[in-house]
Each structure stands twice: as structure tokens, then as C-alpha cells.
Structure 1
Amino acid sequence: MAHPQMFRTSDGHLERVRSICLALPGAAEKVTHGRPNFFTTKVFAVFGGSLKGDHLAPVARRALLFLPDAAEREALVTDERFFVPAYVGPSGWLGLTFHDHDVAEVDWGEVAELVDMSYRNTAPARLVRELDAR
């Protein structure tokens, strides 16, 4: 059974996340489990998610899911904008909510840094070298 689409294609937050993710070497997008996933050989970012026990939580529906460095994770979880998403949270992933924030209010430089960190944690070494050479 296919998952229903759980995002608006015209979402301005998604458009910005997409432009950041797809600018990375070898990055592509596919919709899985109803959400846009950005990947090389492994997924490095997802737009939208859920909380354990609440699949419709507004805080998670419009969010960036990413895999931070273990050393960074502790500091990030103390910030109220971040949450532990269902399913991937036990593997170290976090979510940055865009809920109640207009596109213009989001620090897109910070989002790009989080995506970069997650990309480096999941992409093949050759793609990371290509990114560093840019």
C-alpha cells in the first residue's frame, strides 16, 4: 500500500530545503513514505516527519530531519526548535521544526550547515571530497 503524499509541493520551506540539498554533489530527491527524501547512496535529509505516538504533530510535519554529528546532537536537543523524530530518532537523527515560522524567518544559513553535516555523515567519501574541492 502506497503512502499518501504528506507535503504540499508549493511549500516555500520545502523549496528552500530542496535547493540546499540538491546543490550537493550526487544528491537526488525521491518521495518515500509520503515525504521528500534527499539522498546520495543513503538518505541525508527528509522534509517532514512525525513524533513517536503522534503521526500528525504539527511541529514535525513541516521540518527538516537530519543526522547531526554525535558531538553536536547534545547541544541541539536543548534548543526548543529541535526534536527527536519517530523512526529515525533512535539512530541519532533530529528534526528542526519550521512550524509557526514563515520562510523569511528561518535562518537558512543554519539549515544549510545542518544539511551539510548530515550529508558528510552519510555520503560516500568521494562525494565529500568533491564537495570539499568546490
Structure 2
Amino acid sequence: MIEVLDRIRQAALELPETEERVSHGQPTFFVAGKQFAQFRDNHHGDGKTVVCVRTSGLDEQAMLLESDPETYSKPAYFHSSGWVSINLAGDKVDWDHVADRIAESWELAAPRRLLEAGGR
């Protein structure tokens, strides 16, 4: 799983003013103190390897869950806020897509000053 986590770190930490901290035992990524991504591997014994990211809200969450249930699922604890989990298991992971979703999540969490300065 180190290689998978390294890919998540690379995508998240290349974004402006991002830091990684452990939150609830999980590698978690923050911008200006706001969480925008969390890596989970077998979280509470669920057998999944995922990255949890923000969406624009419950409507986007529902659309993603319906359109691609093999890729997206509802993450424990975050789903009521519109977050989704992206499946990172197997050899069919579209890493460019994962990086784009992490960047979109960063944009949803980043302060206006970073977005006005050109964002990512």
C-alpha cells in the first residue's frame, strides 16, 4: 500500500499550502487547516483501499455514486457532508482521474485568497 499512498501524497502535496497530518489514525491532507483528502486502507476492517474527497454537495455525491459504483462509494463518517471514497484497489485505477478529484477537493476547501491567486 505504500506505493498507493505515495501516489496520493504526490497528488495532494503538489497543491499550494497543503500539509499532511494524521487524523483519526489516517494520513489526511489539509489546506489552510481544512481537510480535503484522507487515505484509508482497511479502515475499521472494511477491506477497502480508498481516498476520501470532497464533492460540491449531496447532489454531486449522488450522481457519482450512481454513475460509477465500482469507483465511488460513501465513506464512513464523511458521507453526510457529501464526500465520496474513490476505490484505489486493482490495476484499473485511473490515477489522472484520482489526482483531478483530489485537486477539485482542494479547490472546495481552499481559502479564496489561494483561488484568486491562481489556485492549482
In the superposition, the TM-score normalised over structure 2's length comes to 0.86
The aligned counterpart of 1:4 is none
Question: Which letter does structure 2 place at the counterpart of 1:56?
Answer: G
Gaps of 5+ in 1: 1-7
Gaps of 5+ in 2: none
The aligned counterpart of 2:11 is 20
Residue among 106, 116, 126 paired with 2:93: 106
How far does residue 130 in structure 1 lie from its aligned partner after superposition?
3.2
In the superposition, the TM-score normalised over structure 1's length comes to 0.77
Question: Which letter does structure 1 place at the counterpart of 2:62?
Answer: E
Deviates more, 1:66-75 or 1:78-87: 66-75
Deviates more, 1:68-77 or 1:81-90: 68-77
Residue among 27, 42, 54 paired with 1:36: 27
Mapped pair 1:84 → 2:71: no
Contact 2:41 2:47 in 1 (8 A): no
The aligned counterpart of 2:47 is 58
The aligned counterpart of 1:5 is none
SS at match of 1:48: strand
The aligned counterpart of 2:40 is 48
Residue among 61, 65, 68 paired with 1:73: 61
In terms of fraction of residues, the more strand-rich structure is 2
How far does residue 49 in structure 1 lie from its aligned partner after superposition?
6.5
Contact 2:29 2:38 in 1 (8 A): yes
Q: How far, CA to CA, are the matches of 1:25 and 1:34 in structure 2?
A: 24
SS at match of 2:45: coil
How big is the alpha-carbon RMSD for the aligned residues of Structure 1 and Structure 2?
Answer: 1.9
Question: Which letter does structure 1 place at the counterpart of 2:63?
Answer: A
Greater Rg over alpha carbons, structure = 1
| Number of corresponding residues | 116
1:89–1:107 CA distance, 2 compared to 1 (3 A) = same
Q: How far, CA to CA, are the matches of 1:46 and 1:39 in structure 2?
A: 9
1:76–1:49 CA distance, 2 compared to 1 (3 A) = farther
The aligned counterpart of 2:111 is 124
SS at match of 1:76: helix
Percent sequence identity over aligned pairs: 34
